[in-house]
Amino acid sequence: MSAPSLRPTAAPAGLLVVDPVRRLAWLPPLLAVAAVAVLLVVPYPGSVVVCGAIAAGVIAALSPAWALTLLTGALALNNAVDWAAGGTTITLPYAMVIGVLIGWALRTLAFREPLRQSPVVWPLAACLLAVLASVAVARDLDAWSNEAQVWANGLAVFVVASQALRTPAEAWRIIGTMAACVIALTGYAAWQVAGDIGPASYEVGGLLRAYATFGGPNSFAKYLEMTVPLLAAISGAWLVAVTPWLGDRVPVIARSIPWWVGSLATAATVAGGLAMVLTQSRGGWIGVALGLAVVAVLLGGVYRWTFILATFAVILLAILTPAGDRVALRFGSEALGISTSPGPVNVTPANWAVQERLAHYRAGLRMAREHPWLGVGAGNFDANYRESTEVWRFRIPRSHAHNAYIQVVAQTGMIGLGAYLALIVTVAIRLRSRWRAVRGSDRIIVIGAIGVSVAVATHNVFDYLHVGVLPMQLSLVWALAERVRLDPEMPADPGQEKGSA
């Protein structure tokens, strides 16, 4: 007895069958006219922001994967293009997310596409609900609104991307775009450092810290952490695949990586590593190092040994060159606020940053103790900092607690912290299950996503990474790992290297 066919049967005679694409045929010309009207009426930069939203919406209605590719490039701009309107500032990426969400919703309704949600959606939505609930105790509603928007954007991008990304070509386009953005941002950052173009407060040891389009060195380092481990995984697999002297050890799975993606990923990995060094971000260095270590271990084989040799090379480079002095300056005992003498640590210009972080830790924990359930309100850390700090010289807040876990519990209480920990655990379980289940080049993408997640979780101990466009970037990486469905009609890529990825 033959298995039933999965192909759709012919429509009965007399039933009107409409091509689904025609259902949205009216959308492009209508929105093209609207874009022209915006360019004529709204001055720059508002016209660019609005037209970006319109373009993202049109493309998302026709092809959500291409719209996400466009959004990936816009994320690298951060707030370089923004529009002050109605008492608020709208950046190009934020406007494009709205367009993508509307266009994707129209397409889903018109085509009646089934919604298949990842388990990650639910704790991510719970984090947003905790942020929304904290409005009951928020003093600064504008700050609360900004924080809610950040979490809403991250959730929106993950929902659309995890639903829309289905084929390898769609994933490679987004990864290639990420790589191109890292290369461009590194060039821009190197120009800033070489020309000493930036605030004097960004200089350490006479050298400007790179910040690119992200307004601050640590923010730039966060973006690199959300891209470099993924690109390194792609680059490592592709380089081994195209290296002829490895013979039988060349993994078949790596050959499925397009040459242009492998080339861009390799160049971006080198460029991103240089950019990370130029940021002089200690948390970024630690995070990306652990992320790359996890990538090397999971890839196995030649990848693991290459990482070990590269680590020794970096250590020797730091010891035998002047670069080692700069590393010692950033990680020395004085810079870290470590004192061998009893009593309180004296605050000096060298350990100022660390002592300031410790003051923010204490203030955040005090907020959590005094407001255990809902916290002080999302985005309201600054509004409550001055009365919560005990150190007079650090009475000026720096917008966050310098620790994501303290930040979450201080702003949204135990409810928010529970949702956030559930998100971390769910992502970890989901990535582990994908790594064990999928094969082919998709497994390499999952390994890269694991590396990114480890880097983010590590840097979150020293900073708060859920700011600006970064949650959207992280959602794209997680969605790439969700791309492969374990359905019979969607098989994984053929081939698997024994003993490695």
253-270: pLDDT as tens digits? 666 889 999 999 999 999
Q: Peptide bond preceding 45: is omega within 30 degrees of 0, i.e. cis?
A: yes
* pLDDT digit string, tens, across residues 157-175: 999 999 999 899 999 999 9
DSSP annotation of 394 reads G
Q: Is residue 189 part of a domain?
A: no
Tokens of 77: 């701009």
Helical (H) or strand (E) element with 90: strand 88-91
Q: Which pair of structure tokens corresponds to residue 101?
A: 């969400």
Give the number of C-alpha atoms closer than 13 A to the C-alpha of residue 379, restricted to the C-beta side.
22
Q: How far is CA 441 from CA 48, 171, 234, 484, 492, in A?
A: 37, 11, 8, 11, 9
Reported pTM: 0.87
**Is residue 48 in some structural domain?**
yes
| 129 domain residue, yes or no | no
Give domain status of residue 345, yes or no: no
Q: Is residue 251 part of a domain?
A: no
CB 68, CB 161: distance < 8 Å: yes
**Taking a C-beta distance cutoff of 8 angstroms, is the pair 473, 154 a contact?**
no
pLDDT band at 310; cut points 50, 70, 90: confident
Domain span holding position 91: 22-114
pLDDT in tens, 184-196: 999 999 999 999 9
Convert the pLDDT of each residue in 338-382 to its tens digit: 444 444 566 666 677 778 888 999 999 999 999 999 999 999 999
pLDDT at residue 330, rounded to an integer: 54
The pLDDT tens digits of the residues spanning 23-59 come to 667 667 777 777 777 777 788 888 889 889 989 998 9
Nearest to 482 by CA among 450, 458, 455: 450
Helix, strand, or coil (residue 26): coil
Does residue 426 lie within any of the structural domains? no
The 10s digit of each residue's pLDDT in 311-328 is 777 666 666 666 555 555
Beta pairing partners, 207: 204
CB distance 177 to 72 below 8 Å: yes
381 in any annotated domain? no
328 is a domain residue: no
Whether 385 has a pLDDT exceeding 90, the answer reads yes
Residues near 25 by beta carbon (within 8 Å), at least 6 away in sequence: none
The pLDDT of residue 251 is above 70? no
Bridge partners (DSSP) of residue 83 are 90
Q: What tokens does 52 get?
A: 């970006």
Identify the bridge partners of residue 85 per DSSP, sorted by sequence position: 88
Please tell me the total count of domains within the chain.
1
pLDDT at residue number 161: 96
